[in-house]
């Protein structure tokens, strides 16, 4: 399962692709929209909130990779956040925002599916509660990192997988930026 490094960068990149303004200079847009980028990064990490109950037990994986790593939970979370957002700021949380939140939540599941899983239970319960079957892509594109305990998070073993995630995450975000700015240029030329 990927760490918040890759999930967060992927979320911020997707936010730019979905809601960024490709006609503005990149950094001035990002400076003005830091809140949006941070919220998107946080949303893309949200299914990993299931690490938190494990904090009290000293075993981060105690309830990890369970219900929050399913399509049903991603849909329920997106709907709940969107409804709360609509009550708060109805002009910003229009129908399209629901799609954005849903994409950020499901990006987490897609990324975890293609990340190596170093400990049982292997894979994620994508179809829960309809099925208990755990799903994992046949090929792992990202390496596993050590996270069974708090002290493991800082272990030297994590330097390599987290460096790979950082590089891959930056490349993914750069791809989102390139796609959005290219699309904006093409649209302006029409």
112 is a contact residue toward Zn ion (CB under 5 A): yes
Q: Which is nearer to Zn ion, 112 or 165 (CB)?
A: 112
Q: With respect to Zn ion, which residue has the nearer C-beta, 69 or 181?
A: 69
Size of the site for Zn ion (CB under 5 A): 3
Collapsing DSSP to helix, strand or coil, 124 comes out as strand
- State the nearest-atom distance from the C-beta of 169 to Zn ion, in Å: 14
Q: Is 165 in the site for Zn ion (CB under 5 A)?
A: no
For Zn ion, give the closer residue by CB, 53 or 182: 53
Q: Which long-range contacts (CB under 8 A, 24 or more apart) does 177-185 make?
A: 177/13, 177/16, 177/17, 177/20, 177/26, 179/17, 180/16, 180/17, 180/20, 180/22, 181/22, 181/26, 182/22, 183/22, 184/21, 184/22, 184/23, 185/22
Q: Determine contact, residues 97/113, Cβ cutoff 8 Å.
A: no
Q: How far is the CB of 96 from Zn ion (least distance, A)?
A: 26
From 13-21, 44-52, 165-173, 182-190, span contacting Zn ion (CB under 5 A)? 44-52
Q: What is the distance between the alpha carbons of residues 139 and 185, in angstroms, rounded to a whole number? A: 35
Place of tokens 């503005």: 24
Min separation Cβ 108 and Zn ion, Å? 6
What gap in Å lies between CA 186 and CA 171, rounded to an integer?
22
| CB closer to Zn ion, 10 vs 36 | 10
The minimum distance between CB 1 and Zn ion, in angstroms, equals 5
Residue 113's nearest CA partner among 124, 127, 125 is: 124
Answer yes or no: are the C-beta atoms of 166 and 5 closer than 8 Å: yes
Question: Which of 1, 40, 43, 128 is in the footprint of Zn ion by CB under 5 A?
Answer: 1
> 48 or 165: whose CB is closer to Zn ion?
48
Stretch in the footprint of Zn ion (CB under 5 A) among 30-38, 52-60, 84-92, 107-115: 107-115
Contact between 17 and Zn ion (CB under 5 A)? Answer: no
48 lines the binding site for Zn ion (CB under 5 A) = yes
Q: Residues interacting with Zn ion, by CB under 5 A?
A: 1, 48, 112
């Amino acid at each position: 399962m990927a760490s918040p490094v890759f999930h967060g960068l992927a979320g911020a990149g997707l936010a730019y692709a979905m809601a960024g303004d490709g006609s503005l200079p990149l950094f001035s847009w990002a400076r003005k929209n830091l809140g949006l980028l941070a919220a998107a990064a946080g949303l893309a990490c949200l299914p990993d909130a299931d690490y938190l109950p494990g904090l009290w037990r000293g075993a981060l994986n105690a309830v990890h990779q369970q219900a929050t790593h399913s399509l049903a939970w991603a849909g329920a979370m997106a709907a709940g956040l969107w409804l709360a957002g609509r009550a708060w700021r109805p002009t910003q949380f229009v129908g399209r925002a629901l799609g954005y939140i849903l994409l950020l939540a499901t990006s987490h599941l897609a990324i975890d599916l293609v990340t190596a899983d170093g400990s049982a239970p292997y894979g994620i319960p994508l179809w829960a509660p309809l099925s208990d079957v755990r799903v994992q892509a046949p090929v792992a594109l990202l390496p596993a990192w050590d996270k069974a305990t708090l002290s493991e998070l800082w272990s030297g073993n994590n330097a390599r997988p987290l460096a790979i995630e950082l590089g891959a995450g930056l490349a993914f975000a750069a791809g989102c930026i390139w796609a959005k700015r290219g699309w904006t240029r093409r649209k302006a030329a029409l």
